[in-house]
Amino acid sequence: MTSFPGLERLVPDYVKSFEVYIPSKPDDELKKLYGCSKLYRLNNNENPLGPPETARRALQAFDPAQASIYPSGDCYHLRRKLGDIFGMRPDQFLAGNGANEVIGFAIKAFCRQGDNIITADKTFAVYEWVARFSGFEARLVPLVDYGFDAPGMIERIDERTKLVFVCNPNNPTGSWWDQRTLRWFLDRVDGRCIVVVDEAYREFVENPDFPDSMALIANYPNLVVFRTFSKMYGLAGLRIGYLAGSKEVVDIIRRTCVVYSVNTLAQVGAFSALDDREHVARTRESVSSGKGFLLKELGLMGLPCVHGEGNFVMTRLPISDSLAYRKMMTRGVMVRTMTGFRFPNWIRITVSHREALEAFAEALSKILREGREF
């Protein structure tokens, strides 16, 4: 292979210093690697119920001949439907190829060299990643009692702060800001920067004190809300998410978006998924039951847990999380190691169907017993 002597000179220092994210291998390869015939995916907070029935029917009815035609470049019909649901204008919404792309849109729209973003030190890592590999500073404020520190984040804002990211509920701790806290925060920010509230797990929340962030946009034009179809609506494989905000802010963000990045199937599935309210109720019931079972089993093992809203639970192990991952994989159970989230020796478990959770509890119990025998 021919070398490229001048490559090093072309790469920015902030790209050189950034450690690449290596995704896990496909399930079939993982089964071969770990010698398991079945794999329970408890690592990515996926919905075990899959997509809503309305989305399934729409996807099955898709005409393959339409695959040769470019999708709607701006998700025209989906944005209009979202506008009807939330009582907002269609041009207040912007869709992307998953929430990750939408995060990139927002950061690119407002940040330039020397600017910074603010978020927590133990939260969804993509806010930090996108900022850093784009050459911007990511200021990380430590969590307080596993939740976002509103006063601490206010203190870190300066004249070069362009965006503040709040994951609500927080992944991975499940903590959340109520209406009063979010309003307090927005009032203290006072329009100095964009406040992004990432509500990827919002549909799992039933607590009446959880803020209606969409409604707050009318009073706080610097507020941007993220949502996704990957979690509650079970469309993670199609990659579609969206943001909402004031028309003025969304118009700016739209300038950085990639046209045609959301494929036709994703648009069809998302549009139809919004019609199935029973799916949300069924999923919430399943998560509530599964979380109760999971917490009971972890309690019997004497393991401390952190949980709140969302379809996941964190637990701290008496052994390395990476070692536990490998041992669990040999038993066909896939969990999320949390060292990368700055929670060493913790794992995060997706609240899935009972068969998967029983397999998890049995596997972890055996691993812990084996460890005590040495």
Tell me the per-residue pLDDT of 220-269, one tens digit each, with 9 for 90 and over. Answer: 999 999 999 999 999 999 999 999 999 999 999 999 998 899 999 999 99
Where in the chain does DSSP place strands (E)?
A: 40-42, 93-96, 116-120, 137-141, 161-167, 194-198, 223-228, 241-245, 305-306, 312-316, 333-337, 346-350
147 DSSP 8-state letter:
B
Tell me the per-residue pLDDT of 159-174, one tens digit each, with 9 for 90 and over. Answer: 999 999 999 999 999 9
| Final residue belonging to a domain, choices 254, 273, 292 | 273
Please answer whether residues 156 and 139 qualify as being in contact, where contact means their C-beta atoms are separated by less than 8 angstroms: yes
Q: Which structural domain, as residue segments, surrounds residue 361?
A: 13-42+278-372
Q: What angle do CA 91, 87, 184 make, to 5 degrees?
A: 95
**pLDDT category of residue 374 using cuts at 50, 70 and 90:** very low
| Final residue belonging to a domain, choices 240, 255, 273 | 273
Mean pLDDT of 115-143: 97
Residue 360 has pLDDT above 50, yes or no: yes
Tell me the per-residue pLDDT of 295-348, one tens digit each, with 9 for 90 and over. Answer: 999 999 999 999 999 999 999 999 999 999 999 999 999 999 999 899 999 999
**Is residue 135 assigned to a domain?**
yes
**Is residue 332 assigned to a domain?**
yes
88 DSSP 8-state letter:
S
Tell me the per-residue pLDDT of 32-65, one tens digit each, with 9 for 90 and over. Answer: 999 999 999 999 999 999 999 999 999 999 999 9
**Is residue 27 assigned to a domain?**
yes
**Is residue 5 assigned to a domain?**
no
pTM, rounded to two decimals: 0.95
229 DSSP 8-state letter:
S
Residue 373: Cβ-neighbour burial (10 angstroms; 0-12, 13-18, 19+): exposed
Nearest to 341 by CA among 306, 365, 296: 306
| Final residue belonging to a domain, choices 273, 306, 339 | 273
Regarding whether 67 and 21 lie in a shared domain, the answer is no
Mean pLDDT of 361-368: 96
What does the block give as tokens for 194? Answer: 């964009």
Q: Where are the alpha helices (DSSP H) in 61-163?
A: 76-86, 98-110, 126-133, 150-156
Mean pLDDT of 10-19: 86
**Is residue 8 assigned to a domain?**
no
**Is residue 6 assigned to a domain?**
no
Domain count, the chain: 2
What does the block give as tokens for 65? Answer: 């001949």
Please answer whether residues 49 and 285 qualify as being in contact, where contact means their C-beta atoms are separated by less than 8 angstroms: no
